[in-house]
Amino acid sequence: MGDEETKKPAYEALKTWNGNKEKGGFRASSFLFVLVLFENMAFVANMVSLVLYFSQQMHFDLAGSANTLTNFMGATFLLSIVGAFISDTYLDRFHTCLIFGLLEVLALVMMTIQAHDSKLKPSPCNNKSTCVKGGIAVMFYASLYLLALGNGGVRGALAPLGADQFDHKDPKEAKALASYFNYLLLSTTVGAAVGVTIIVWVSTNRGWWKGFFICTMATAVGFSVFALGKPFYRLQQPGDGPIIRIAQVIIVSFKNRKMSLPESPTELYEITEKDFVSQNEKIPHTTQFSCLDKAAILGADTKPSPWTVCTVTQVEEVKILTRMMPIIASTIIMNTCLAQLQTFSVQQGYRMNRLLNKFEVPAPSVPVIPLVFMSILLPIYEFVFVPAARKLTGHPSGITQLQRVGVGLVLSAVSMAVAALVEVRRKQHSLKNPLKPISLFWLSFQYGIFGIADMFTLVGLLEFFYKEAPVYMRSLSTSFTWISLSLGYFLSTVFIDIINSVTKRVTKSKQGWLHGQDLDHNNLDLFYWFLAILSCLNFVNYLYWSSWYKYKTEEPKIDSSVAMSVSKLPFLKEESNAGNEGKEASSCVENTQGEEASSCVENTQGEAK
């Protein structure tokens, strides 16, 4: 680990990034915002409308169309890890995005062709969950999962590429980095709003193939603009493969399992300060998961090599990723709730009064309501809330990333409870007066609340996983956000299948809660209540793990007065692995005024380093 051959890839990668200080910033990330806007215009339009395409054009039943969509969405987000791994190990993030972008455009072309040609669509069939088979099935699933691979690969590399344009160690750029994630979500929201209105209307009223064609063109335009921004990007070249580095720690610690840990962590193996490209890359030792520390024990008369001993920094990288696992697991249920708003809620809207004066609103366009809320709230959050919270907490993002996620989890539980109440009202009214259904805009309550929840959680997770990750694992770490989404969608499929299987055995009708295609004769409201209760239990679980988590580094403070404010509000202060040094800094600030406080903090942080 300490020889020149081993250090060279990491050195060259960091040198490439640092040598482009004149590049990057919002000028570079603006090209990414354009791509995100156009790509999500297509992606979100498909995300909310494909459930109807599956049922109306491909003749899936209610559960079959919902499961096909959730499996597709789950695969999309899960495959983000492929793009993340490639961009961390083999290609830079820019070229990774372009390659997977071409696959995404190709898949949309295939879907357009199949939707246009009636010979490539199945004939209706009775009492079957799906009518898709033979060559039609091959083209259908090939295009669908090629789209999942393309979109997933882009997601795995795009967000960290934009974040690479800012140096989060610089206090000024740290604030810009926090704003970057908010603008990224705003671009997503604006694009999605256009997609769920214009593109969805074209798909449902003028032909599905026309909607897919618009998606194809929008995505192609987005990647063309993205490619034009290459001269402005800070490109970090791939370093040591993150999977290999993780495997080395696990294998070496297992080999050394019978060895005793030294009394002092300073006796563990670490390369010298001069061998580090930057002192900031050295991660101090922590006491959590001490079994992994055995990977840093250098045996007597043993020559250091990657598979015989690991540095303390390398071990700490694995510890960081391990600490993230419970956070990922705690957000899966929320994403299971999100899946319902793109499947069953769309089916609900299709059976409600969709007239707005004389204009009939497409059922998949209902998500435009939370998107409008988010488009308004995001600038307010960025320009009003964050500066006010920053003065109080000293945190560049206003509040910590895990606090944002917690707010989102609470609101997602509320959203599911509201969804259950709305479904009870819709069903009762429909059974009494089927010719006069209630208005589609009753769904705006559950969509609006969840939209705000998503605004907090998605940005919080992206920023959390990027900032906390080791420098050469940021794509892999950021993809954890999408993996959580993926597992949420897959879990939705599992819940639907299990609940149908169990409830058909215990109900008098011998029918599952979510059977058939008639929502008026099943129990979707009970399914929503189930998710609401599960979300509450999950939030309690999240509170434990978010309190247990130790942040890798302490964020740069805005000024000394802010530091004093934070010290008086411990529930707003991030914990760090600096341990006693961090406590000394807090104590020092409380007992010192003015310039002396600022100097004291600087000196204490210097000792911690």
Out of 6-15, 132-141, 145-154, 373-382, give the one with best mean pLDDT. Answer: 145-154
Provide the pLDDT for residue 533.
Answer: 95
Lowest-pLDDT range, 413-417, 476-480, 484-488? 476-480
Half-sphere exposure of 362 (CA within 13 A, CB side): 25
**What's the pLDDT band for 532 if we cut at 50, 70, 90?**
very high
Beta bridge partners of 356: 359
Provide the pLDDT for residue 122.
Answer: 83
Residue 105 has which token pair? 């455009």
**pLDDT over threshold 90, residue 384:** no
List of residues 6+ apart from 542 with CB closer than 8 A: 327, 330, 331, 405, 406, 409
Lowest-pLDDT range, 284-298, 327-341, 564-578? 564-578
**pLDDT over threshold 60, residue 10:** no
**What's the pLDDT band for 516 if we cut at 50, 70, 90?**
low
Task: Pick the more confident residue, 598 or 96.
Answer: 96
Domain limits of the chain? 4-237+319-548, 242-318, 560-608
Provide the pLDDT for residue 428.
Answer: 87
**pLDDT over threshold 70, residue 556:** no
The CA-atom distances, in angstroms, between 333 and each of 63, 83, 513, 546 are: 19, 24, 20, 16
How large is the average pLDDT for residues 393-403?
80
How large is the average pLDDT for residues 153-172?
83
How large is the average pLDDT for residues 47-68?
83
Q: Hey, what amino acid is at 385?
A: F
- Distance (Å, rounded) from C-alpha 153 to C-alpha 15? 26
The CA-atom distances, in angstroms, between 324 and each of 269, 292, 478 are: 24, 16, 11
> How many other CB atoms sit within 10 Å of the CB of residue 283?
21
**What's the pLDDT band for 477 if we cut at 50, 70, 90?**
confident
Provide the pLDDT for residue 537.
Answer: 95
**pLDDT over threshold 70, residue 564:** no
Lowest-pLDDT range, 10-19, 30-39, 375-384? 10-19
Cα–chain-centroid distance for residue 422?
A: 28
Lowest-pLDDT range, 145-159, 232-246, 415-429? 232-246
CA angle 530/532/535 to nearest 5° reads 110
> Quick one: fold of 4-237+319-548?
Growth Hormone; Chain: A; (1.20.1250)
Percentage of the chain lying above the pLDDT 90 cut: 21
Provide the pLDDT for residue 103.
Answer: 95
Provide the pLDDT for residue 420.
Answer: 92
How large is the average pLDDT for residues 115-129?
79
420-440 pLDDT per residue, tens: 999 999 888 888 888 888 888
299-336 pLDDT per residue, tens: 777 787 778 888 888 888 888 888 888 988 999 999 89
**pLDDT over threshold 70, residue 64:** yes
How large is the average pLDDT for residues 248-269?
87
Q: Are 550 and 575 in contact (CB under 8 A)?
A: yes
- Distance (Å, rounded) from C-alpha 219 to C-alpha 603? 51
pLDDT averaged over every residue in the chain: 79
Cα–chain-centroid distance for residue 571?
A: 25
Task: Pick the more confident residue, 38 or 346.
Answer: 38
**pLDDT over threshold 90, residue 507:** no
- Distance (Å, rounded) from C-alpha 2 to C-alpha 309? 10
443-469 pLDDT per residue, tens: 888 888 888 888 888 888 888 888 888
For residue 458, give the nearest of 409, 522, 512 by alpha carbon.
409
Q: Which residue has the tokens 């640092």?
A: 18
Mapping DSSP to helix (H, G, I), strand (E, B) and coil, where does residue 353 land? strand
Print burial letters for 483-497: b (CB count within 10 Å at least 16), e (below 16).
bbbbbbbbbbbebbe
**pLDDT over threshold 80, residue 396:** no
H or E element in which residue 359 lies: strand 359-360
Provide the pLDDT for residue 98.
Answer: 94
**What's the pLDDT band for 517 if we cut at 50, 70, 90?**
low
Lowest-pLDDT range, 78-92, 168-182, 289-303, 540-554? 168-182
- Distance (Å, rounded) from C-alpha 147 to C-alpha 149? 5
**pLDDT over threshold 80, residue 497:** yes
Task: Pick the more confident residue, 355 or 241.
Answer: 355
List of residues 6+ apart from 445 with CB closer than 8 A: 418, 422
- Distance (Å, rounded) from C-alpha 160 to C-alpha 583? 32
**pLDDT over threshold 90, residue 61:** no
Provide the pLDDT for residue 567.
Answer: 35
Lowest-pLDDT range, 129-138, 184-193, 429-438, 586-595? 586-595
**What's the pLDDT band for 21 if we cut at 50, 70, 90?**
low
Provide the pLDDT for residue 509.
Answer: 67
Provide the pLDDT for residue 580.
Answer: 42
